[in-house]
A and B are shown apart, each in its own frame.
Chain A
Amino acid sequence: MTRSSRFLAILLLLTGCATTGEGDPRDPFEGFNRGIYRFNEVVDEAVAKPVATAYRDVVHEEIRNRVRNFFSNIGDVFIGANNMLQGKFFEGFEDWMRFTFNTTFGLLGIHDVASDMGIEKHNEDFGQTFGRWGIGEGPYLILPILGSSTVRDGVGTAIDMYVDPLGELRPINLRNSLIVLRLTGARADLLEASRILEQAALDKYVFQRDAYLQRRRNLVYDGRPPREPREPEEQEKPEKQEQPVNPGPRSDVDTGGASNSYLPRIPRNYEAVMAAGYATTP
C-alpha cells in the first residue's frame, strides 16, 4: 500500500507543477523529467548496468532463460486478468492456460512449454487496460528508477506493483532476493537494446521518449493501432470506405492534444494486414 500511495503522491505533485513552454505538447514536464532521467542514468551506470552485465556474463544463458520464464509465468496470471478486464476473454483464457501448463508441465514455470504448444505470450498491464477503456495517456513522465511512463501508465504501474504476488511473499529476505533477481534479469535483457539506443540516438532522452510513446500506443491496440492520416505534404486522400467494420477502441484514445508529428507514414494495405491479425494464415 505504501508503495502505491507514494507513486500517487509523486503523480499528484507532478500534475500540480505544470510548466508552460514551447516544448513537446506530450511532455510538459520535460525539464523535471530530464532531471529524473539523469538521476536514473547515474543509478543505472553505478549499480543496475554493472550488476546486469555481471549476471549476463556469469550466469549461463540456459539458466537465465529459466529465470526469465519463471517470472514471466507469474506475470501471465495478471496479463490474463488484464485481458479479461479489457473484454478479451479468449486471450485472457489463453494466458491462464499458459500459466496452468507452464506451472505444471513447465515445472513452476521455468520452461515455457505453452509457447512450444503454440499458445503465445501476450503483453498486458493495467496501463494498457486503462488505455483500452479510453483513458488518455496524459503527460509523459520519467519515474525514479522505473524510467519512462505517463500519468496513466504510472497509475497502472502502481496497481501492477500492488497486486504483484511477490510483494506478499515471506520471509522478507526471500522476497527481496526474488525482486532483485527479477530486476537484474530484466535489465540484462535490455543491455543490447540500451547499447543500440546509445548509438542510434542524437538525443537519448527524446529518442527514448518517442519510442516509449509509440510502443505503448501500439501495445494498447495490441499491435493494430488505427490508421492515421498521411503526411500533410502528400496530396492523396485515403479511400472513402475507410471506416473499419469491427468497432475497435475509439481512435481518440491517445490524442491528449498532442501533435501528429511523430506518427509514421502508413502503407495502404496496413489496415488489411492489421485486421487480418497474426492468429491464422489464409
Chain B
Amino acid sequence: MAPDVLVKTVTTEVVELITKDKEIRSGSRAKLIQVIETRVLPHFNFSSMTALAMGQNWNKATPEQKKRLIAEFKTLLVRTYASALAAYSEQRFDYRPLRAKPTDTDVTVNVRVMQSGAQPVPIDYSMEKTATGWKVYDVMVGGVSLVANYRTEFNNTVREAGIEGLIKNMQAKNRSLEAPPAEKK
C-alpha cells in the first residue's frame, strides 16, 4: 500500500472506530489503547523513533537497554496518542496528495486538520519503506517534530542520570499514567 493511502486508510478506520464505539465514547481508555495497539502501532517503527530521539546516546546503550528504551518510549507515546485521540471532536481531515517518486523509500505524508476560526493544523508523517511495508518514524504536528522534541529531554536525562536513569524516569512516568486521575472537569 502506498504511504499516503495507508495514512488515509488507517486514519479513516480509527476515526470511525472511536466515533462509533460505545465504550470509547463513554471514555474507556483501555478500549482506546487497545484500538491504537491493534490498528495504529503496526504502522510505526518504534526502534527507528527511539534511535532518532536518543541521537548520539543511542550507541552508548547496550542491546538490552535499547530493548527497554524502545518498550518504554512506545508505552509513553501510546498513552500520549490516546489522550490526543480522546480530544478528537469531528474535525475534518484534508489529505494532501503524495509528492514522491515511486522509487523513494523515505517520504512525508501530509494531512491537515481543518477547524473553524483557526489556521488548519498540518500533521506530517515521516515514513520509511521497510520489508514489512511503510512505517512511520516521526510525526510532526504544526511543524513540531515529536522525535526532535524528545531528543533534548532524553539528552538532558542521560547527561544527568545515564541511560539507566532515563529508563527509570520513563518507567516512573508510564506508571504514573497507568491509572490517570479522573478527568478534572
Chain B residue numbers with a CB within 8 Å of A69 are 116-117
- CA gap between A277 and B160 in the complex, in Å: 42
CB pair B142–A264 under 8 Å, yes or no, is no
- Asked if B144 is at the interface (CB within 8 A of a chain A CB), the reply is yes
Asked if A200 is an interface residue, CB under 8 A from chain B, the answer is yes
- Pick out which of these stretches binds chain B: A5-13, A125-133, A164-172, A207-215: A207-215
Given known pairs A211-B149, A262-B149, A267-B126, the reply for A281 and B97 (CB within 8 Å) is yes
B56 beta carbon closer than 8 Å to chain A? yes
Q: Is A214 a contact partner of B117 (Cβ separation < 8 A)? A: no
Contact call B108/A200, Cβ cutoff below 8 A:
no
B152 at the interface (CB under 8 A from A): yes
Contact A273–B110 (Cβ < 8 Å): yes
Within 8 A of A (CB), among B86-103: 87, 96-97, 99-101
Tell me what chain B mostly uses at the interface: helix, strand, loop, or mixed.
mixed
User: A192 to B185, alpha carbons, bound, how many Å?
Assistant: 11
Query: Which one, A192, A207, A264, contacts B126 given CB within 8 A?
Result: A264
Hey, what's the 0/1 contact readout for A182-198 against B, CB within 8 Å counting as 1? Answer: 00000000001001100
Docked-complex contact A210 and B83, CB < 8 angstroms = no
Q: What's the tally of chain B residues with a CB closer than 8 Å to chain A?
A: 55
Judged by a CB distance under 8 angstroms, whether B156 is at the interface is: yes
**Chain B min CB distance to A71 (Å):** 9
How far does the alpha carbon of A215 sit from the alpha carbon of B141 in the complex, in Å?
A: 9
Which among A53, A121, A261 is the interface contact of B185 at CB below 8 angstroms?
A: A53
Is B67 interfacial (CB-CB < 8 Å)? no
B155 close to A214 (CB less than 8 A): no
Q: Does A242 contact B (CB under 8 A)?
A: no
Inter-chain contact A218/B144, CB cutoff 8 Å:
yes
Query: In the assembly, what is the distance between CA of A261 and CA of B54, in Å?
Result: 10
Does B5 touch A at the CB level, under 8 Å? Answer: no
Determine if A199 and B52 form an interchain contact, defined as CB atoms under 8 angstroms apart.
Answer: no
In the complex, the chain A residue whose C-beta lies closest to that of B55 is A261
Among B52, B120, B155, contact of A265 (Cβ-Cβ < 8 Å)? B52
What are 18 A-B contacts with C-beta separation under 8 Å?
A: A69-B117, A206-B152, A214-B143, A214-B144, A214-B148, A217-B143, A218-B142, A223-B122, A223-B143, A261-B152, A262-B149, A264-B140, A267-B106, A269-B101, A269-B107, A272-B100, A273-B99, A278-B120
Is there a chain A Cβ closer than 8 Å to B76's Cβ? yes
Q: Is B10 an interface residue (CB 8 A)?
A: no
CA distance A44 to B149 in the complex (A): 24
Least CB distance, B88 to chain A, in whole angstroms: 10
- In the complex, B11 has a CB within 8 A of chain A: no
- The CA-CA distance from A215 to B150 in the complex, in Å, is 14
Q: Kindly state the separation between the CA atoms of A24 and B152 in the bound complex, as whole angstroms.
A: 9
Q: A209 — nearest CB in chain B belongs to which residue?
A: B152
A200 to B170, CA, bound (A): 10
Evaluate contact between B173 and A202: CB separation under 8 angstroms: yes
User: Is B153 within 8 A of A264, CB to CB?
Assistant: no
| B118 A269 Cβ-Cβ under 8 A | no
Residue from A196, A219, A261 within 8 A of B143 (CB atoms): A219
Residues of B near A207 (CB, < 8 A) are: 149-150, 153
> B79: CB under 8 A from chain A?
yes
B172 to chain A, nearest CB (A): 9
Q: Is there contact, CB below 8 Å, between B169 and A265?
A: no
User: A215 contacts B119, CB within 8 Å?
Assistant: no
Please give, as numbers and ranges, the residues of chain B lying within 8 Å of A231 by CB-CB distance. Answer: 52, 55
The 10 closest A-B pairs by CB, nearest first: A218-B143, A264-B145, A264-B148, A192-B87, A69-B117, A200-B80, A269-B100, A72-B117, A214-B144, A123-B119
Q: Do residues A263 and B156 form an inter-chain contact, with CB atoms below 8 A?
A: no
Alpha-carbon distance between A232 and B59 when the two chains are bound, in angstroms: 13
